[in-house]
């Protein structure tokens, strides 16, 4: 008999037992004598039998699926971020014999995630966004499902893998202040997103460590559309703001478009920086001072951490990945 084509039926016939007995021996479930179980497992080992994914999953009580939880309310500009995260997760999962199941959630609808858990379709999950009031996170904790959050949270029960946004934003802001900027503004997005609060903390940290700083600063949060950006930029130009710092590439793109429409030169008339670099800003002229995070690495590290958890290993509760501050021509004489 060709061992490569061996089936559960072949094993049952060879050992004189039923297919159910062989399945129970493989899965470890159901009533079966230890001597019979040993006989089946010894035969499998001797003949190098490799059960299919379903049988293997039964044997190890695993589905060999990982859930990746994506926000259903993401905008088009955020798509490259989630694609790169997904690439890191998928490559790592595939290398370890796992597939990835996508669940889309919103603040008030996590039904896809609930179905994946209730129907036992996943062994663990990866959250791609953390919120101040995080329904998916609460559900996974209550359901006792192993998971890793790509992002930060104050809940010390949660295993977290994140970029060091706070340090990165502090470093970039400090470089701007060190060059003598005295009138600076920050435009940020949804403050229910933890990443927003971490970037804001980094921005404020830069001023805290410069106690002699005597300039003025303004902060605008929960900005989500170009119309609101237009209003803010108009106000900042009236106040002779020297530099506008944007929390992400979307807002930075909106600011640059507004300035272009008003024929305001960057950096000659106003300087611009972004707390997040991406392809959205890649071809801008002048090049934009920003922070680069390795997003694919973020997905890879989150998946590696989850797989270690599923193997019963102890993992770090919080892992912070590096960054690169890129000083470019949008901040004059600094880049």
**One pLDDT digit (tens) per residue for the chain, 335 residues:** 445 566 777 888 888 988 778 777 776 656 788 888 888 888 877 777 665 554 555 455 688 999 999 998 877 778 889 999 999 999 999 999 899 999 999 878 999 999 999 988 999 999 999 988 999 999 999 999 999 999 999 999 999 999 999 999 999 999 999 988 999 999 999 999 999 999 999 999 999 988 888 889 999 999 988 899 999 999 999 999 999 999 999 999 999 999 999 999 999 999 999 999 988 888 899 999 999 999 999 999 999 999 999 989 999 999 999 999 999 999 976 54
Span 160-194, pLDDT tens digits? 999 999 999 999 999 999 988 999 999 999 999 99
* 62, HSE (Cβ side, Cα atoms, 13 Å): 17
| pLDDT tens profile 237-269 | 999 999 999 999 999 999 999 999 999 999 999
What per-residue confidence (pLDDT) applies to 335? 45
pLDDT given for residue 202 in this prediction? 97
Which phi and psi angles does 325 have, rounded to 5°? -85, 125
C-alpha separations of 291 from 27, 248, 276, 288, 329 in Å: 49, 10, 5, 10, 14
Are the beta carbons of 25 and 40 closer than 8 angstroms?
Answer: yes
For residue 195, which of 228, 244, 162, 220 has the smallest C-alpha distance?
162
Cβ neighbour number for residue 141 with a 10 Å cutoff: 14
Q: List the 183-187 sheet strands across, edge first.
A: 216-220, 183-187, 243-246, 271-274
Domains of the chain (ranges plus CATH)?
3-60 (1.10.260.40), 65-163+295-323 (3.40.50.2300), 165-292 (3.40.50.2300)
The pTM is what?
Answer: 0.79
């Amino acid at each position: 008999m060709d061992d490569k084509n061996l089936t559960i039926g072949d094993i049952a016939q060879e050992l004189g037992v039923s297919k159910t007995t062989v399945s129970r021996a493989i899965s470890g479930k159901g009533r079966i004598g230890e001597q019979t179980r040993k006989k089946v497992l010894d035969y499998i080992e001797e003949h190098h039998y490799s059960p299919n994914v379903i049988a293997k999953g039964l044997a190890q009580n695993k589905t060999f699926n990982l859930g990746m939880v994506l926000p259903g309310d993401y905008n088009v500009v955020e798509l490259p971020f989630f694609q790169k995260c997904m690439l890191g997760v998928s490559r790592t999962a595939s290398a370890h014999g796992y597939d990835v199941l996508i669940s889309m959630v919103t603040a008030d609808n996590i039904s896809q995630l609930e179905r994946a858990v209730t129907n036992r379709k996943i062994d663990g999950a990866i959250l791609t966004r953390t919120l101040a009031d995080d329904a998916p996170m609460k559900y996974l904790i209550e359901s006792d499902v192993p998971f890793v959050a790509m992002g930060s949270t104050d809940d010390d029960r949660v295993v977290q893998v994140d970029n060091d946004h706070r340090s990165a934003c502090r470093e970039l802001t400090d470089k701007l202040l060190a060059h003598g900027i005295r009138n600076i503004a920050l435009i940020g997005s949804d403050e229910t997103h933890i990443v927003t609060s971490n970037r804001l903390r980094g921005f404020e940290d830069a001023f805290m460590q410069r106690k002699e700083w005597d300039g003025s600063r303004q902060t605008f949060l929960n900005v989500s559309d170009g119309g609101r950006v237009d209003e803010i930029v108009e106000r900042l130009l009236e106040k002779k703001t020297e530099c506008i710092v944007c929390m992400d590439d979307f807002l930075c793109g909106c600011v640059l478009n507004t300035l272009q429409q008003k024929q305001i030169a960057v950096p000659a008339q106003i300087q611009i920086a972004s707390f997040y670099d991406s392809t959205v800003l890649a071809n801008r002229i002048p090049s934009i001072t920003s922070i680069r995070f390795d997003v694919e690495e973020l997905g890879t590290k989150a998946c590696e951490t989850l797989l270690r958890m599923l193997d019963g290993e102890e993992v770090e509760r919080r892992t912070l990945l590096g960054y690169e501050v890129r000083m470019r021509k949008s901040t004059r004489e600094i880049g």
